[in-house]
């Protein structure tokens, strides 16, 4: 399946709000985990079905419900009913080709971002959609498959570290988004080191393999940019969003994350410019090499033009040629050829053509 665009034939001619899974199923059975906490207690649940949705929603504590496996449309619709989610939110959750965005509804915020990871087997950056629904006292997150990216956030909540349990649900949403952007930077730095290592090879040992690597890194950087650029726009929207769901205490953290997103974008643009420069250097090197070859061939051709003319004259079939009966004509002929060749070579060197 294409990484840059997901096919959506299944949704053609369907009414808006239809919950139809679009994407690639990445796990056999969906999994639901719940963390329900406040400053005094923590409750964790691991469910195969979101069977406690009403009970979880009605608690006064902060509730983080995470779903791994958005292919289970029945489960998604059940959660939607329990939390009274808009049909368009459910439609976007199961459509894994959404562009990162933030949408404001009457009682919640809906966010879509792209989580990135480096696939060692395929040797390429892969992405998956992360959907988030931010309510007054709950946060719903939907992932295509289990990920270790948020384990550090779960650990902070469990150990009551940092803001953790003492902060509101908007801070939890920020913590997850901050993890996403940190992962962006980590992957960019990982690829960036390889991009910088290409410089000497491009300058001193250009080859088809180097060209293939330049093309590969350029494609990967474009894929990362496709996720980071709209993420930066999303964070900017959140920063200026006038919503009761985002407290003033969280604003400084969002502004800091906006800086990280901007930094990520600048680094990507820098490496993309470097790759374009490498490609230009490679093409210039190939052109210069071709020009050197053509230069040598042209010089040899220029040297042999008068020699060919002389040989052509004395290779004619006319009967009366004055030099034919002379005893040393053959040796004089070769002497003239060598003399003409040496004069032309000296002339080319004097003009610095050789």
pLDDT in tens, 62-101: 789 999 999 999 999 999 998 999 999 999 999 998 999 9
Containing domain of residue 15, as a range?
A: 9-284
Q: Identify the CA nearest to 234 among candidates 264, 261, 252.
A: 261
What average pLDDT does the segment 10-20 reach? Answer: 68
Q: Is 130 within the bounds of a domain?
A: yes
**Of 237, 264, 284, which residue is a domain's last?**
284
Are 327 and 255 in the same domain?
no
Are 111 and 186 in the same domain?
yes
Are 139 and 55 in the same domain?
yes
Asked whether the predicted pLDDT for residue 53 surpasses 50, the reply is no
Are 270 and 208 in the same domain?
yes
The pLDDT tens digits for 259-304 are: 999 999 999 999 999 999 999 999 988 888 888 888 888 888 888 8
Are 278 and 312 in the same domain?
no
State the pTM of this model.
0.79
Are 305 and 159 in the same domain?
no
Are 64 and 147 in the same domain?
yes
Q: Is 196 within the bounds of a domain?
A: yes
The pLDDT tens digits for 240-264 are: 888 899 988 999 999 999 999 999 9
Asked whether the predicted pLDDT for residue 174 surpasses 50, the reply is yes
Asked whether the predicted pLDDT for residue 48 surpasses 70, the reply is no
Are 321 and 211 in the same domain?
no
- Cα angle, residue 237 at apex, residues 233 and 238 outer, rounded to 5°: 120
**Predicted pLDDT of residue 58:** 46
Give 57 or 159, the one with higher predicted confidence.
159
CATH number, domain of 314, equals 1.20.58
Q: Which of 137-146, 165-174, 298-307 has the lowest mean pLDDT?
A: 165-174
Are 118 and 264 in the same domain?
yes
**Of 240, 259, 284, which residue is a domain's last?**
284
Q: What percent of the chain has pLDDT over 90?
A: 45
CATH number, domain of 52, equals 3.30.460.20
pLDDT band of 155, cuts 50, 70, 90:
confident
Rounded to the nearest integer, the mean pLDDT of the chain is 85
Q: Is 205 within the bounds of a domain?
A: yes
Are 186 and 323 in the same domain?
no
Q: Is 197 within the bounds of a domain?
A: yes
Q: Identify the CA nearest to 6 among candidates 118, 132, 128.
A: 128
pLDDT band of 220, cuts 50, 70, 90:
very high
pLDDT band of 349, cuts 50, 70, 90:
confident
Q: Is 214 within the bounds of a domain?
A: yes
Q: Is 4 within the bounds of a domain?
A: no
pLDDT band of 44, cuts 50, 70, 90:
confident
What average pLDDT does the segment 302-319 reach? Answer: 82
Are 226 and 337 in the same domain?
no
Q: Is 317 within the bounds of a domain?
A: yes
Number of domains in the chain: 2
Q: Is 289 within the bounds of a domain?
A: no
**Of 231, 256, 284, which residue is a domain's last?**
284
Are 245 and 118 in the same domain?
yes
């Amino acid at each position: 399946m294409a990484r840059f665009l997901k096919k959506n034939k299944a949704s053609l001619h369907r009414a808006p709000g239809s919950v139809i899974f679009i994407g690639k199923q990445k796990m056999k059975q969906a999994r639901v985990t719940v963390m329900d906490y406040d400053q005094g207690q923590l409750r964790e649940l691991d469910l195969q079905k979101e069977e406690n949705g009403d009970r979880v929603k009605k608690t006064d504590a902060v509730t983080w419900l995470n779903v791994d496996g958005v292919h289970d449309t029945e489960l998604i619709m059940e959660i939607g009913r329990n939390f009274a989610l808009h049909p368009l939110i459910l439609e976007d959750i199961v459509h894994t080709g959404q562009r990162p965005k933030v949408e404001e509804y009457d009682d919640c915020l809906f966010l879509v971002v792209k989580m990135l990871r480096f696939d060692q087997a395929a040797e390429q950056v892969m992405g998956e959609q992360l959907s988030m629904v931010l309510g007054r006292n709950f946060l719903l997150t939907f992932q295509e498959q289990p990920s270790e990216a948020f384990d550090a956030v779960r650990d902070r909540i469990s150990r009551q570290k940092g803001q953790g349990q003492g902060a509101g649900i908007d801070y939890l949403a920020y913590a997850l988004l901050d993890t996403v952007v940190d992962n962006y930077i980590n992957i960019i730095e990982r690829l960036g080191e390889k991009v910088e290592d290409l410089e000497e090879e491009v300058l001193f040992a250009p080859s088809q393999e180097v060209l293939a690597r330049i093309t590969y890194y350029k494609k990967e950087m474009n894929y990362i940019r496709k996720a980071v650029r709209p993420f930066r726009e999303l964070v900017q929207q959140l920063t200026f969003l006038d919503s009761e769901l985002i407290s003033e205490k969280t604003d400084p953290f969002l502004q800091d994350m906006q800086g990280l997103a901007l930094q990520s974008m600048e680094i990507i643009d820098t490496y993309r410019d470097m790759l374009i420069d490498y490609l230009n250097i490679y093409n210039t090197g190939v052109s210069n090499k071709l020009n050197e070859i053509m230069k040598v061939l042209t010089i040899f051709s220029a040297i042999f033009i008068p020699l060919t003319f002389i040989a052509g004259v004395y290779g004619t079939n006319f009967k009366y040629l004055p030099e034919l009966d002379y005893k040393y004509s053959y040796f004089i002929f070769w002497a003239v050829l060598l003399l003409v060749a040496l004069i032309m070579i000296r002339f080319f060197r004097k003009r610095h053509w050789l």
